[in-house]
Structure formats: structure tokens, C-alpha cells
Amino acid sequence: MTGDSTHFGLTDAFRLGLRYIRGRGQAPVNIASISLASAFYAYIALMRIGTQTLRTYRLWLLFVAVVVAAVSMATVMLISVYERYREIGVLKCLGALDRHVFLLLIVEALIQGLIGGGIGILLGSISTLISNTSISLSGINYLALSSTLLLSTLISIVSSLYPAYRAMRLNPIEALRYEV
Amino acid sequence: MKSEPLIEVVDLARYYEMAGTIIKALDGVNLEFYRGEYVSIVGPSGSGKTTLFNLIGGLDRPTRGKVYVDGVDLAELDAYELAWLRCRKIGYIFQNFNLIGVLTALENVALPTVFAGLPWEEGLKKAEELLRLVGLGDRLGHLPSELSAGQQQRVAIARAMVNDPDIILADEPTGNLDHETGRRIIGLLQRLNREREVTIIAATHDVEMIKGSDRVVWLRDGRVEKIEVR
């Protein structure tokens, strides 16, 4: 044998990850929770700062929104790993390494985080423009807005670390015996 | 028979501990498989067929004994080399097909070529060729849920063949199929065995499926009961 190993690059992970996101029911739930949290973040980021108390109060609300989104995402990703137990076993049987499985799940999280963040930015800016007549489209702080994407991908990836680790460590023999 | 065996199994044993008792799934099996052979492994469920396949495929480590594939001792290989072995040398066919539900027939067959390092377009081309070979040229874009059981098993066979493996391990390939469909699947496997000279080891508990085998290995309670040369 050559000492060579198997391949599964970023492009491959994106291709397979997109199929899973499209083909399974959980992705919309993840995207919805991330977009709500990031819409809220975008809304707050765009606000002209009021009194100190109001600012602290909003930050607390934001914190809660982020935690709720992260917990929900972690739960949904874990369910998605359990439901795919057997298929992950099959991937390992076909030559996937542990790190390939890990990469696949993190890329899925990344895609969902980006989509959720995009929707969140849209929702957040629209609600800002509607509720705050003193801010116009040209007056929007785009730097603050783009930090929303950073937050959404971060929530998504961090909350998927444990589910992806579980998937990676899965024993293919047990996984192939597993009945859903 | 040629002299050098493709797979050599020496005094192979695999014990499991379950609730304090030791289960001897395999208990001292000696077997040799030669290039281009079609071997059926027959035994009731629990006789050790799946355990044997898991050990030959490097998915599991033996309690005792050795497995050599192409002269290489699997115990000497690390996780990376074992993944390479499973990807390039061995094709798997399962009782319940185990296709990826979100991928089309074509993409399912092309998936192992990704792990083998082939560009996606090339993999798809190879997959299409194989799906035509197994008679599914008109089902390329169908999801597994849109295919019959027999068609799904054909897709699985094409997937097992796509990286041109030396060995195909088929674990009860007809177990979830009706009799007629099962016979056709076995016929397809035997055709591939002849035309492509791939070594096929097929486990079954259905003695009707062993017709046309070069050899039949009878397993019972983790031991070889007899070997029948045909």
C-alpha cells in the first residue's frame, strides 16, 4: 500500500453540505433561529445610542438572544447527527476520515450561519428603517451591519463543535447497526 | 487457483464482552481468498459473517489472529491507510443498501471517487458509466427514496465498483429483497465478477443464493464448519 490516504476538501464539504441542507428538514429551523438573533443584533448595532441604562438593557437582551440561538442550533445539529448516524457510518466505510466528517458538519454550520446572518441583516435593517425615521438608507452604519455576519457564523460554528465532535468519534460498526 | 491469496485470514478471533459474558463472534477462522473468485459465506445470523467482513475491511480490530490483504498485515496500518484501503481496495454492499438519502443515484455512486481524490466531474462521468452497466442509465437523477429496493441495491453495487476495487464484500445483499429481485442481484454480482475480475465475497443465509459460487464457506458459531469447492 502506498501510505497515501483519502481526500475530502473544502469544496467537497461544501458540495455535500449544501445537499444535506437542502435535503433535510432541520436547516430552516437553524437558519430561522440564527436570523432572529442576528436581526436583533443588527437592529441594536444600528440604533443611535440612547441613555446608558437603555444601552445596558439592550445588551442584556442581545446576550439572551445569542444564547437562545446557540442552544437551539446545538440541539438541532445534535439531532441531525443522530438521525444521520448510519449515513455517517457509511461515509467512514467509503473512506472518510474523522476529520472529514468533522469538516462536513462545520461547513454545514458555516453555510447556515451565513444564510441566517444575511436574512438577519435584512430583517434588522428593515425594522430599523421602519421604526426609526431619523435613520435613512444612506445613514446606515455598514460596518456595524457586517459585524452581524461575523456573529451569526460564530454562533453557528461554536454551537456545532460538540455535535461535529460526536459525529467524528462515531464508531462505524455501531453506526451501521443503528436503526433509526 | 493461483498461488498468492488476495486475502489471507489466519486464526482470526473477535470476542465481545456483553453484560459480563464473553461472546465469541469469531473463534479461530482460517481462510484464503484468491483473485477473481466468487465466494459465498453461508451461516445463520450470529455465525460471524458480519464480524468477518468488518475485520477484513479494517473497520474492527481482531482479538487474536491476522488479516492480510495483498500480503499486507492490516494490524500494521494506521487509520489513514485503513481509510485508503476501504476506499480503493474494497467495495461494500449492505443488506439495507445504505445510500445517502439527500444525494441522487448518480451522486451516490460518485461519492467514493471524491475520497479517492478524483475531480467531481470525472467521478460523475465514471458513475454514469457504471449506472448504465447495472441497467439504471435512466435513473441517474433519482433520489434513493424514488427507487425500488432492487434499484437501490443496483445503485449500491455501482457505488461499490466505482473506485475499481479488488474486493467486494457483500453482507446479505439480498436480505431485504424479494426472491426474484434477489436472484437478479446475485446474477449481476456474478456477471461483474466474471467481466471485471473483481473478487466477490457474499454473505448469505439463503442457500439458494450460492449457485454459481466458486467456493462456499459454511460458518457456524464463529468457526468454519466446512468449505465446499464447486
Tens of pLDDT, residue by residue over A60-102, are 888 888 898 899 889 999 998 999 999 999 999 999 999 999 9
* Contact at CB, A94 and B111, closer than 8 angstroms: yes
pLDDT score of A2 more than 70: no
Q: Which grid cell is A69?
A: 440561538
pLDDT score recorded for residue A62: 85
pLDDT score of B1 more than 70: no
Q: Is residue A126 part of a domain?
A: yes
* Contact at CB, A90 and B115, closer than 8 angstroms: no
Give pLDDT tens digits for B98-127: 999 999 999 999 999 999 999 999 999 999
The residue among B22 and A56 whose pLDDT is bigger is B22
pLDDT score recorded for residue A180: 52
For residue A166, the distance in angstroms to the closest alpha carbon of chain B comes to 18
pLDDT score of B194 more than 80: yes
* Residues spanned by the domain of A16: 10-177
pLDDT score recorded for residue A49: 64
Q: Which grid cell is B77?
A: 496500518
Asked whether the beta carbons of A20 and A91 are under 8 A apart, the reply is no
Q: Is residue A170 part of a domain?
A: yes
Give pLDDT tens digits for A100-156: 999 999 999 999 999 999 999 999 999 988 887 777 777 778 887 888 899 999 999
Report how far apart, in Å, the C-alpha atoms of A159 and of each of A25, A83, B172 are. Answer: 18, 18, 39
pLDDT score recorded for residue A153: 94
pLDDT score recorded for residue B209: 85
The percentage of residues in chain B with a pLDDT greater than 70, rounded to a whole number, is 99
Confidence (pTM): 0.93
Q: What is the ipTM of this complex?
A: 0.94
Q: Which of A6, A19, A176 sits opposite B83 (nearest CB)?
A: A6
Average pLDDT score over chain A? 89
For residue B229, the distance in angstroms to the closest alpha carbon of chain A comes to 31
Q: What are the residues facing B31 on neighbouring strands?
A: B9
Give SS3 for B229.
Answer: strand
* Contact at CB, A2 and B84, closer than 8 angstroms: yes
Q: Which of B85, B86, B98 sits opposite A86 (nearest CB)?
A: B98
* Contact at CB, B60 and A95, closer than 8 angstroms: no
Give pLDDT tens digits for B57-105: 999 999 999 999 999 999 999 999 999 999 999 999 999 999 999 999 9
pLDDT score recorded for residue A26: 86
Query: Residue A180 burial by CB count (10 A; 0-12/13-18/19+): exposed, middle or buried?
Result: exposed
For residue B13, the distance in angstroms to the closest alpha carbon of chain A comes to 17
Q: Which fold has domain B7-229?
A: Rossmann fold (3.40.50)
The percentage of residues in chain B with a pLDDT greater than 90, rounded to a whole number, is 92
Residues of chain A with Cβ-Cβ distance to B60 below 8 Å are 173
Confidence of residue B18 (pLDDT cuts 50, 70, 90): confident
Q: Pairing relation of β-strands B21-33 and B72-73?
A: unpaired
pLDDT score recorded for residue B2: 53
Asked whether the beta carbons of A178 and A86 are under 8 A apart, the reply is yes
Q: Which grid cell is B13?
A: 478471533
Give the integer Cα–Cα distance in Å for B223 and B30.
Answer: 9
Asked whether the beta carbons of B86 and B116 are under 8 A apart, the reply is no
Mean pLDDT over A165-179 rounds to 88
Q: Is residue A4 part of a domain?
A: no
Give SS3 for B101.
Answer: coil
Q: What is the DSSP letter of B32?
A: E
pLDDT score recorded for residue B102: 97
pLDDT score of A51 more than 80: no
* Total domains in the fold of chain A: 1
